[in-house]
Structure 1
Amino acid sequence: MEILLKVLGAGGAAYAALLAGVFLLQGSLLYFPDMGRQMLRTPGDVGLDYETVWLTTEDDVRIEAWYIPAPAARGVALLAHGNAGNISHRVDYALLFHRLGYSLLLLEYRGYGRSEGKPSEAGTYADARAAWRHLVTERGFPPERIVLVGESLGGAVVARLAADERPGALVLASSFVSVPELAADLYPWLPARWLTRYRYDTLAALERVSCPVLIAHSPQDEIVPFHHGERLFAAVKGPKAFLELAGGHNDAFLFSREAWRVELGRFLEQHLPQGSVNPVPR
């Protein structure tokens, strides 16, 4: 009995240490800015003109973005990427939106790529607001001509922005309901919902969104389970569409590239104003 109690005590202590470590170090489990510090390529490498833009956030952090114009653009997309890599890993989005007739602003979070600062939940929201202000105020795009696009973690970022502003449309790719819900799926042996200090509550934001929403998700997603996409879709109150992708979390858009392009183009044509826009800086 004494040995058993010692074993149980040691196990309990180890489990408590694990919980403390997860609570204190969860930022390193959520953000991976070092996975892709190197800039791999630019839109110029795929034949697209682009401009490097340096934005200053409301809390005085300097962040990078790439602006890729499209001729006679129908509007502009603002992309918030996932929790790993940087904007140089998302150049294919520039090609996608260019072919659809939209300009694109690729946003780099604080602490990622060449941007200053350290990533945080409040910080990523501030980064997105700085990008929105740039498009509306400095470039003069009407809000109804702006498409907010978020992949994975970025979905929570732009959903919050869409809830606070009035974009023309919102596109969520492989996004999750919230960090506590995702953590509970990924770590079922931990009281994950109670341990998480980050919220990124995409579901709550969607309940305040009034613009049309496109949800894209794969049943084979091994990181963000498919039911997250289904729950997000169910929460949308206004016009909406769902695109079922194929493949894993990081390669679904490769497997579904043509279907993704066609469905996204159809969605934007249906819900955004037609004709080119001539933005006038304010």
Structure 2
Amino acid sequence: MPNWGYIAVIILAFYIVTSTVLYYLQEYFIFKPEKLDKDFEFHYNNQVVEEYNLETRDGAIINGLHFKVENPKGVVLYLKGNSKSIKGWGKFAVDFTRHGYDVCMLDYRGFGKSTGRRSFKAIKRDLQFVYNKLKEKVDEKYIILYGRSMGSGFATKLASINNPKMLILDAPYYSLSKVAAKFIPFMPVSLIMRYPIPTYKWLKYVNCPIHIIHGTHDKLIPFKSSIKLSKIKPKLTRLYTVIGGGHKNLNNFESYHKMLGEIINSKMRKINLSNTSIGVKHSSKNVNVQA
């Protein structure tokens, strides 16, 4: 006869040890940083770019790039995903500068040339610090927040406590905890996640136009997560579908660039609904229709 009590203790011990390991080592699974030497020089063809370094109150250095155009319409604060550094992500700045917008990118702590001890609280504080620096030079009504993948959650957080022109979310997740739960469904994710990044909670407090772009074939963050997000503030939100798009290749679709152009060049207009079909109900009853 098996000793069920002994087996239960073994399973419980394994569960506790695994949870502890995941709690302390999760940064190795969430963040995939690329380190850059201090003397590394950024170069991008046909782009005017200026490197900047901002020192935070705890002595960390946040390194970033400012892509510039003549007579900018505004500035896009681009928050990247969880991998590499702005060395590679900088190539996407052209998608905004071509429309007459400056672009500011930054590396999170531990990425690229940025330094400092990384934590959920520290990253949020750093991003607000950078946003405040932008506000010193640009009125908020000219600031567009663009968040890609992991950056979509942090962009939403910024939009929830500030007043940017608009928020654009590229392949966003409902919450990072939900993404993690898909890979480790047997673990108490809500208790061990040090970076829950609850996009859906922060989105409730966003009061600017919200634009969500997502590929239908995204296998990392399912398209349905954007559908759920779009229902949180439906009057402010538009959902854009890139048919066939995956998680890392939206920039290779012509439809993505058309959508992006429409979004950043759009102006919010109030619609007179008095002369539309709003409120008209379809009747299931037979009615006489005259030709």
Q: TM-score normalised to the size of structure 1?
A: 0.86
* 72-81 vs 17-26, greater mean Cα deviation: 17-26
Taking the aligned partners of 2:200 and 2:96, their CA distance within structure 1 comes to 26
> Which residue in 1 is equivalent to 2:35?
37
Contact conserved, 2:250 with 2:256, CA < 8 A, in 1? no
Give unmatched runs, 5+ long, in structure 2.
270-291
Taking the aligned partners of 2:216 and 2:225, their CA distance within structure 1 comes to 10
Find the structure with the greater CA-based Rg: 2
Task: Please say if 1:57 is aligned against 2:56.
Answer: yes
- Percent identity between matched residues is 25
Change (3 A) 1:237 1:186: same
How many aligned positions are there?
Answer: 266
> Which residue in 1 is equivalent to 2:200?
203
Deviations for 1:156-210, whole angstroms, at most 9, x for unmatched residues?
Answer: 1111111111000101111111122222222223232333232211111110001
Higher relative contact order (CA 8 A, sep 6+): 1
Residue 42 (structure 1) shift: 7.2
Task: Please say if 1:252 is aligned against 2:246.
Answer: no
Contact conserved, 1:148 with 1:171, CA < 8 A, in 2? yes
Aligned match for 1:228, one of 215, 225, 229: 225
Which structure has the highest helix share of the two? 1
Aligned match for 2:209, one of 202, 207, 212: 212
User: RMSD over aligned Cα, in angstroms?
Assistant: 2.3
Change (3 A) 1:141 1:263: same
Which letter does structure 1 place at the counterpart of 2:194? Answer: R
> Which residue in 2 is equivalent to 1:276?
none
Contact conserved, 2:177 with 2:193, CA < 8 A, in 1? yes
Question: Residue 98 of structure 2: SS of its match in structure 1?
Answer: helix
Deviations for 1:103-145, whole angstroms, at most 9, x for unmatched residues?
Answer: 10011111110011122211211221122122111xx211011
Taking the aligned partners of 1:127 and 1:50, their CA distance within structure 2 comes to 21
Residue 45 (structure 1) shift: 2.6
Residue 96 (structure 1) shift: 0.6
Taking the aligned partners of 2:221 and 2:264, their CA distance within structure 1 comes to 25
> Which residue in 1 is equivalent to 2:285?
none
Contact conserved, 1:184 with 1:192, CA < 8 A, in 2? yes
> Which residue in 2 is equivalent to 1:86?
85
> Which residue in 1 is equivalent to 2:191?
194
Taking the aligned partners of 2:12 and 2:249, their CA distance within structure 1 comes to 39
Residue 6 (structure 1) shift: 5.4
* 188-197 vs 220-229, greater mean Cα deviation: 188-197
Which letter does structure 1 place at the counterpart of 2:16? Answer: A
Deviations for 1:21-43, whole angstroms, at most 9, x for unmatched residues?
Answer: 1122222222222xx2248x976
